[in-house]
Amino acid sequence: MASNLETLVTVFGGSGFLGRNVVRALCRRDYRVRVAVRRPELAGYLQPSGKVGQVHVVQANLRYPASVEAALRDSDIVINLVGVLAEGGAQTFDAVQAKGAETVAKAAAAAGARMIHVSAIGADAESPSRYAKAKAAGEAAVLAAVPSATIFRPSVMFGPEDQFTNRFAALARMSPVLPLIGGETRMQPVYVGDVATAIADAVDGKAKAGATYELGGPEVLTMREIIEAILAITDRQRMLAPLPFGLARFQANFLQFAPGAFKLTPDQVTLLARDNIVSDAAKAAGLTLEGLGITADSLEAIAPQYLWRFRPQGQFQRKSA
């Protein structure tokens, strides 16, 4: 039986939040991993993810097809994880998530490599969100070039180093009042480790070719419930101030230039107006984590393992009276 070490998997965007988890999952299964990133000199921390020589970091930029072609040369499987949550300079939604995905797919097709593409729940060509439109365009471009590609659409992901739970925990540490945008919008937070496992399973050949999977956690929660859970985990009592979408969009025109946890773009506000949950169609077709045989971890089970650092007493929590 052939060893996985004979299989070369190239991961575009492997240094990001999801990417580093995917690299670790692939290394545990003994694949050779080539990580294609814009700044390879900043991705040295990926080397200990595997055995000596198992992880190789190379330079590639999705806006330059020649660099993409060079990065996936001799690859057996290509995984595209590249995406941006907010635009900046040349890194626009269209350039990265639509045209960039197309560039990777065309190069994978030319190389005869199998492809896995990560999009997002909410990808919709008719969406008012430019992020969601670009995600849908990327999916269409990938399937046009590689009809057998497997596409994964995760809901909002959480885990150490995420820009979701850590962001609200950081805000709660700094402010006595938290703005609540889309408080009744439903989400299905999914643990990044479970998404990485699903992608590794697809590399193993366990996912359907040409299928689109929707990945959500075990619970459907409103935005209010998610923030309340984060506050409970971090042992903070904060007032939640609901913001109408109109006012939130107005404020986002200014906050899009803010640093760190205070950053909020108008497009992110638009996204918060729509539910972000696994569809009934995906459930019926078995195109979910459960369909892959993965038992999803909950926010309540995982988040305390890394959000404890935001508690006033650190890893210790106040005892109930």
* Residue 305 belongs to a domain: no
* Residue 201 belongs to a domain: no
Residue 282 and residue 233 in contact, taking contact as beta carbons nearer than 8 Å: no
Taking 80 as the threshold, does the pLDDT of residue 223 lie above it? yes
| Average pLDDT of the chain, as a whole number | 94
Give the CATH number for residue 71.
3.40.50.720
Query: Looking at per-residue confidence, does 307 or 321 come out higher?
Result: 307
Task: Give the pLDDT score at 319.
Answer: 61
Q: Specify the number of domains making up the chain.
A: 1
State mean pLDDT over 140-168: 97
* Residue 165 belongs to a domain: no
Confidence of residue 258 (pLDDT cuts 50, 70, 90): confident
Task: Give the pLDDT score at 186.
Answer: 97
User: What is the DSSP code string of 36-104?
Assistant: EES-GGG-GGGGGGSSTTTEEEEE--TT-HHHHHHHTTT-SEEEE----SS-BTTB-HIIIIIIHHHHH
pLDDT, tens digit (0-9, with 9 covering 90-100), for 68-102: 999 999 999 999 999 988 888 888 999 999 999 99
Task: Give the pLDDT score at 28.
Answer: 96
* Residue 115 belongs to a domain: yes
* Residue 235 belongs to a domain: no
- Give the containing element (helix H, strand E) for 178: strand 177-181
Number of alpha carbons in the 13 Å side-chain half-sphere of residue 35? 31
* Residue 32 belongs to a domain: yes
Confidence of residue 190 (pLDDT cuts 50, 70, 90): very high
- Give the containing element (helix H, strand E) for 217: none
State mean pLDDT over 147-171: 96
* Residue 301 belongs to a domain: no
* Residue 193 belongs to a domain: no
Task: Give the pLDDT score at 1.
Answer: 45
What residues make up the domain containing 140? 4-148
Spacing of C-alpha 190 from chain mean position: 10
- Give the containing element (helix H, strand E) for 253: helix 245-255
d(CA 19, CA 28): 14
State mean pLDDT over 7-29: 96
